[in-house]
Amino acid sequence: MNDARPDTLAVRTADNVVLGYSVAGVGSRLAAQLVDGAVLSGILIVAYAVVTSAVGSVGGRNGALVAALIVSGVLFFVVFAYFFVFELATGGRTPGKNALGIRVMMLDGSSPDRAAILVRNVVRIVDTVMGGVGLFVMFFHPLARRLGDIAAGTVVVRDRQRTTLAAATAPVPLILKTPDAGPPIDGIEMLGSLEHDALRTFLVRPGLTPELRMRLATDIANRLYTRLELAPAAPERMWPPELFIERLYLQLEQRHR
Amino acid sequence: MSLDGFIADRRARWAELDGIVSRARRGNLRAASAAELERFGVLFRHASSDLAIARRDHPQAAVTEYLNELCSRAHVLLYRGAPFRLAQLPGDFALGIPRAWRAAWPYMVTSAACVALGFVAGWLAVYLRPDLRAAIVPSSLFDQMARGRVSGGIDHAPAVAFYIIQNNIRVALICFAGGVLLGLPTVLALASNGWMLGAIAAAVNIGGYNVQFWSLIVPHGVIELSIIVIAGGTGLMLGDAILRPGQLRRGDALSAAARRAAWLACDAALLLVVAGSLEAFVSPSGLPAAAKLGIGVATGVALYSWLGFAGRRESRATARLRLDAPAIVAAA
């Protein structure tokens, strides 16, 4: 995880562990808004049909006008209640946000409380005026927050699970040619788990052409000679670079076991 | 420790936590059993310390990414604000609004001053610039006065009430939300409301229809204008938080003020239902002017005695907490 990337948010938890969140961008938030808008339109069309037929059956020459007044009267509340109730009941996921895999979160990583949800949805009025003041603010805000998010202390983050336990912990086959770990390499105690992981990343990498693998191995081996402070005439320098890397890896594996 | 050993030691705990987190529905753990909840706390602490180790020793490994995801999914289930309870709402409404209103009195006074300023300006504009009268005051008002009466001309009262209420609530919420733009829209909305009222009142005064006009405005106007002033005051709180954040960063000051003011603004906006109903049913009705004015004054007395006096004594629960505190300290 890279804390410096502008579209990530680092939150320090009560246990003093940093959690990294990927911030939802303007695009996915607009798309979520479109989905919510479509759902809302459906609700309002049904509401209009119901009210018109109800008023029409009562009669009166101004039936259509009365129906329009009633529907425009509830419109504002329906739109507000839709966002407020859904975000409150689901921990910040409206149907649109759910469809896009994003959710509302407090800046400290906790679930949004009712005050925050109220504020961000009331300030939506200001965010949507003049063709979208909120959109403009989001565009330039490093965490893509609109005015309502700033006032409520919230941020919208990605919610979709990208890795599973099985995928993250599945053993990856090593590509090894050497039959054994070979003679002990001098200075190996200077290397730690970082080098171990780096060598592993190289050794599990599939699909490298032999020439490219050779070139990468030479490059890595040259850096490791320096790290290991090997003498210019050390026997390890005489090994083919790929063999050197494989033996080094296997020996590190034994030391760290 | 090698990555494989690290994973082998801890994999079972991660799988167990992953199972509990995956079974959470609608962003909470209410469906989990008591035993699961207890395990959840332990497992989450283990997982977050595992994440810290993985960050240090294996920053590029897939399992670090996985642990970060697992911990953030668990974190949001554990850390959350007080739950929303419908049963709290009446108490919060009855005592919370007056307390918040009294605490925010400087903003309420400023907000009222904005309206008053607009009113005086509108009144003076109509008096001092007769040539602009037609532009300032709706011409239908002059037509009505020429025909000898001033009326709202409202049919279909229930539907109109609906419309009036939603419109007023929207204005009130805009007054609050406008606070995020330094409160400028708020000041504008307050002053223009005062301006309209002042201009029309002056025109009516010139025409000599004072009693008819005020009997049309006062029954609902007392509550309506008060709520607009309150909503405007909350908007000014936000604007002030941005302009004078004190020791906080501006964004933090804004969100702290917004969270304090939001319930005051929204709960107060609910009172506009009362005002809108009066506006649709009482104001245009055939009741005698004295009765209408009386209703308006009565709503004003009720509103301001509630705002001024409700919840002044601390609740019994809070008082008991304070009394018990020394006993607890002594026992410890």
pLDDT band at A4 (very low <50, low <70, confident <90, very high): very low
Percentage with pLDDT > 70 across chain B:
89
| Beta-carbon separation of B3 and A196 below 8 A | yes
Whether the CB-CB separation of A217 and A245 falls below 8 Å is answered with yes
For residue B147, name the pLDDT band (cuts at 50, 70, 90). low
Q: What is the pLDDT of residues A125-184, one digit of tens each?
A: 888 876 678 888 888 888 889 999 999 999 999 887 778 887 777 777 777 777 777 788
Could you say which of B77, B159, B174 has the minimum Cβ distance to residue A66? Answer: B159
Assess if residue A163 is contained within a domain: no
Q: What is the pLDDT of residue B263?
A: 86
For residues A113 and A225, membership in a common domain is answered with: no
B30, B180, B237, best to mutate vs chain A, most A CBs in 10 Å: B180
Residues 129-188 of B with CB under 8 A from A: 155-156, 159-160, 162-163, 165-166, 169-170, 173-174, 176-181, 185
Rounded (5°) CA angle B38-B44-B48: 160
pLDDT, residue A1, reads 41
Q: Which of A62, A113, A257 sits opposite B2 (nearest CB)?
A: A257
Residue A86 dihedral angles phi and psi, to the nearest 5°: -65, -45
**A75 CB burial (10 A radius; 0-12, 13-18, 19+):** middle
A216 and A125 in a common domain: no
Q: Answer yes or no: do A137 and A202 share one domain.
A: no
> In the prediction, which pLDDT does B46 show?
92
Predicted pLDDT of residue B56: 87
- Residue A146 domain-assigned (yes or no): yes
Q: Are residues A49 and A149 in the same domain?
A: yes
pLDDT of residue A45: 87
Same domain membership, residue A66 and residue A118: yes
Give the mean pLDDT of B9-22.
Answer: 89
A164: in domain: no
| Inter-chain residue contact B251 with A115, CB threshold 8 Å | no
A118 and A239 together in one domain = no
Residues A152 and A118 in one domain: yes
Q: A65 and B163: CB-CB below 8 Å?
A: no
Q: Which residue has the higher pLDDT, B150 or B38?
A: B38
**d(C-alpha A179, C-alpha A199), whole Å:** 17
| Comparison of pLDDT for A54 and B182, the residue scoring more | B182
Residues within 8 A of A (CB atoms), B 64-123 only: 64-66, 68-73, 75-77, 79-82, 84
**Domain closes at, from A158, A180, A199:** A158
pLDDT computed for residue A2 by the predictor: 42
Residue B155 has pLDDT above 60, yes or no: no
Q: Which band of pLDDT confidence, cut at 50, 70 and 90, is reported for residue B329?
A: low
Please, which residues 1-20 of chain B have a Cβ atom closer than 8 Å to chain A? 1-5, 7, 11, 14-15, 18
Determine the residue type at A18: V
The pLDDT of residue A237 is above 80 = yes
Say whether A163 and B262 touch across the interface (CB within 8 A).
Answer: no
Answer whether residue A69 shows pLDDT above 90.
no
Q: What is the pLDDT of residue B146?
A: 66
- Identify the pLDDT of residue A120: 92
Contact (CB<8Å) B166/A1:
no
Give the three-state DSSP class for B73: helix
| Interchain proximity B262–A111, CB inside 8 Å | no
Contact B62 A163 (CB under 8 A): yes
Residues B242-274 pLDDT 10s: 999 989 999 899 999 998 898 888 888 888 888
* SS3 of A60-97: CCCHHHHHHHHHHHHHHHHHHHHHHHHHHHHCCCCHHH
Average pLDDT over residues A102-116: 90
- Measured in angstroms, the CA of A51 and the nearest CA of chain B are apart by 11
The beta-carbon neighbor of B79 closest among A72, A109, A253 is A109
Q: Give the tens place of pLDDT for each residue, A210-232.
A: 888 888 888 888 888 888 888 88
Mark which of A130, A158, A186 sits at the end of a domain: A158
Going by pLDDT thresholds of 50, 70 and 90, the confidence category of residue B151 is: low
In percent, how much of chain A has pLDDT > 70? 93
Task: Give residue-wise pLDDT tens across range B108-130.
Answer: 999 999 999 999 999 999 888 88
Give domain status of residue A2, yes or no: no
A154 shares its domain with A199? no
Taking CA–CA distances from B74, the nearest residue in chain A reads A110
**A191: in domain:** yes
* Chain A residue at shortest CA distance from B66: A163
Instruction: Select from A158, A188, A204 the last residue of a domain.
Output: A158
Confidence label for B35 from pLDDT (cuts 50, 70 and 90): confident
Among A119, A128, A147, the residue to mutate for chain B (most B Cβ within 10 A): A119
- Give the pLDDT confidence score for residue B281 in this predicted structure: 80
Annotated domain spans of chain B: 3-78, 87-309
Question: Using the beta-carbon criterion (under 8 Å), do B170 and A76 form an inter-chain contact?
Answer: yes
Give pLDDT, residue A142.
86
Same domain, A178 and A139: no
Whole-number pLDDT of residue B152: 54
- Give the per-residue pLDDT at B159: 67
Residue A166 covered by a domain = no
Which member of A76, A91, A148 has the closest CB to residue B26?
A91
Q: Which tens digits make up the pLDDT trace of B208-255?
A: 778 888 888 888 889 999 999 999 999 999 999 999 998 999 989 999
Say which residues have a Cβ less than 8 Å from residue B150's Cβ, sequence separation at least 6. B141, B144, B204, B209, B212, B213, B216
CB B168 within 8 A of CB B276: yes
Same domain as A184, residue A66: no
CB under 8 Å to A249, separation ≥6 — which residues?
A174, A196, A199, A200, A203
Would A234 be classed as within a structural domain? yes
Calculate the average pLDDT of chain A.
Answer: 83
Query: Is residue A74 domain-shared with residue A185, that is, in the same domain?
Result: no
pLDDT, tens only, B44-62: 999 999 999 988 888 878 8
The whole domain housing A217 covers 171-256
More confident residue, A93 or A67: A93
Closest residue of chain A to B174, computed from CA coordinates: A125
Select the residue from B93, B259, B267 to test the A interface by mutation, using most A Cβ atoms within 10 A: B259
Output the average pLDDT for chain B.
Answer: 84
For B10, the closest chain A residue by CA position comes to A169
Summarize pLDDT for B293-312 with one digit per residue, the tens: 898 899 999 999 999 988 88
As for how many domains chain A has, the answer is 2
**End-to-end CA, chain B:** 45
A179 plus A152 within the same structural domain = no
CA distance A12 to A156: 17
Question: CA A103 to CA B42: how far, in whole Å?
Answer: 26
